[in-house]
Every structure is written in structure tokens, then in C-alpha cells.
Amino acid sequence: MTRVGQTISHYTITGELGRGGMGLIYEAKDTRLDRSVALKFLPDELLRSTAAKDRFQREARAASALSHPNICVVHDIGEHEGDPFMVMERLEGSTLDEKIRSSSLDTKELIDTSIQIAKGLEAAHSRGIIHRDIKPTNIFVTHDGFVKILDFGLAKLAKNQDVAPEDRPTELTGAGALLGTVKYLSPEQALNRPVDQRSDLFSLGLVFYQMATGEHPFEEDNSVGTINALINKEPPPIGQKTGRVPSGFVKIVNRLLAKDPDERYQNASELLEDLEAISSGGTIAGPRLTERFNPRILLPVLTVVTILAFLSAPWWNSPPPSSQPTLNRLALLPLSYKGPPDRSNVATMLPALLFESLRSNSGLEVVSFDTSRSYAPEEEYALVATELSADWVLKGSL
């Protein structure tokens, strides 16, 4: 359903700017202040999801608590006929992902963009807000070179932070939920361990590496391999990919990508100090990283590989006999878990990985996992099928 041409509150929608898994963004005219703004709505398929609505509210509250040139401004939040919407500053330019894909960044642009992102993160972290989904598609570069961090939908409040109650983003996810984008998870996120601002800095290291080389250092053919690489492997040396990056920047990226949070920069201020040093022609000292392997992840990886192999077997992809009805839409529920607490990350990883595998390999339409994971693992099949218009409902235990 398009909203172009509608007037919502005092905003007249004039066009569509973009759409993604968690939002539809429109250009609109603020008739009161006579300015152009961006309106963000939830996709129609997520409007029935309490978790998705909570995340949407969380994004608005977290971003509106921050006032910084390198963070996208949220002006207002409202609701129209039961649909929540967010009013943001209208940005003109492209995402960092689009910029990386279209052309390489020269050294000055690389360092300047990195400094601006770090400044935005420093501002968020100083308010006790951890982003948890730093990636190129959540970073916007305007036509005049200003960098803006977007999408605080997964943000959480760091422990022991003195932030006013009205500024605190509320928690929306249950225990054991795997948050973030697989390719940009920190090792501690992938293992479902507690995270702090250093997790954002690891994700930022992945972004910096991609800005410098045009490639992701840990991306594999599937999510299982990517997670294993994030946890256990070291990135290919940047010098093997390109010779145009300053050695100081290489040291910064290596430190950001340390598997152990204690070996990374401990805050964005430390990172900024080094970035500004190399920007002015100075030098920095960076730690040497060593190859490491974590045998504790072996069982989770083997478990996931076994299940994905099962799902990709020929019988799964075979078309149904002509005498049978065609069943095309599947909903995947969270797994119930009974086992040692230190292995609960397996149950956390599996549903997200299964969702990706089913969506790309099964030939089925798969209900967004942001929607289906709001149901309990033991929910009745019939209820889920009816509410999500699903032909198949897949649930299980571990």
C-alpha cells in the first residue's frame, strides 16, 4: 500500500524515498514549518508484530535523545490509523553501502568519513546508548559530505549509565534473542554474550575495512561460515587488498577487529584520538593480533551445518505432486531450549540462520522473522497459521 498523496497530521507525503525490512521511508512536506522531512513507517507485514512496534518506538526514543551533527535527527513520532510513524530530517545523498559499491574512497575521504562516524558513536556512547547494528546501510553520506548514523532500532542502554528516565530506550527483546545483522556482529554478539560500546567498535572496524578495500573481511557463502569467521578467524591483511591505505589506518582497523574486547579501543574517544592523529600526518602504535581458534564454537557450527544440510536436501526442494495443494508460505517460530546455559547461543543462532536458509533455498515465501519471533515457541500451529496467513508453521526444540 502506497501512502504517496496522503496527508497525515500536518505532513503531506510527496514521494517514496526507500524501503527495507524494517521500514518504508517517504518524503513529506511539513505544512506547519514549511520544510521537507522524511516519514518512516513500518512495513504492512510487521504492523501486527508487537516486537516490531516496540523496536520502532525504541528507535525513535533512542535517536531523539541524541543531538549531534553525525546522527540523523528525529523530529517527532506519531500514529495514523493505528500505524506508528517517525518524522526525521530529510537527507540527500546515499548510504555508505551505496557509496562503497559505486566507487572507491580516496584517502582523505576515507579518514574524514571514519572520523565523522566515530564522532557520532562517541556521542551515542556518552549518553549510554549502544547502537548494536552498525553497518554501511545504517550510515548515510550527504551530498556535501556530512555523515549521519541511522536506525537506532536495536539500541540498548549500557549498564551503569546515568541517563534521564525519559531518554532511556526500552528493552524489547527477550532473553536469548540474536540481534543485529549477521555480517556485522561482534564475536560477543554472535555468541549471545553481554555487549558494551566495544561491540559497536568491532562492527565499526568491519565497516572501516570495507571502506578501505571494498570487501567484507569475514563474509562466507552462508551465515554459518560468516559467524564462524567472525568468531575464530583473523581478517586478510588490508595490504593484500590495497596499497593506498595509510599504515596508521591499518593499525586502527586491526585493533578494532580484535576478538577480545579488552584488546580493542575501549571507547570511541580513544579511537577518535588515533584517527585525528593520522589525519594530521601523525603516527600511532597498534597492537599485533595473533591467530586464535575457539573450540567451544565447534559444536554450535556443526549443529547448524547439519540442519542446513538437511534443509537443502533434494526432497525438500522438490515440487509437490500435482494432486496435492501448493503450500507456499512458511512461518518459523523461535526454538524452545533445554540445556546448559553456556550453550544457549546455539538456540539463539539457529532460528535466524534457518530463516535465511529457508528464504534463499526453499522456494517458499517465509514470513519475516521479526514478525514470527514474537510468538512463543509452544504457540498453537492453527493460531500462528491464521494470524500470519501461513501454509506451513515450523517449530522445534533444542
Q: Report the catalytic residues.
A: 133
Give the orientation angle of helix 344-361 with respect to helix 298-311, to 10 degrees.
30
Q: Rounded CA gap, 368 and 332, in Å? A: 9
Give phi and psi for 315, each to the nearest 5: -65, -30
DSSP helix/strand/coil, 217: coil
Q: What are phi and psi of 304, to 5 degrees?
A: -65, -45
How far from 235 is each of 100, 103, 215, 242, 303, CA to CA, in Å? Answer: 19, 22, 11, 14, 25
3-state SS class at 16: strand
The answer to whether 38 and 89 have CB atoms below 8 angstroms apart is: yes
Give the strand order in the sheet containing 139-142.
93-95, 139-142, 147-149
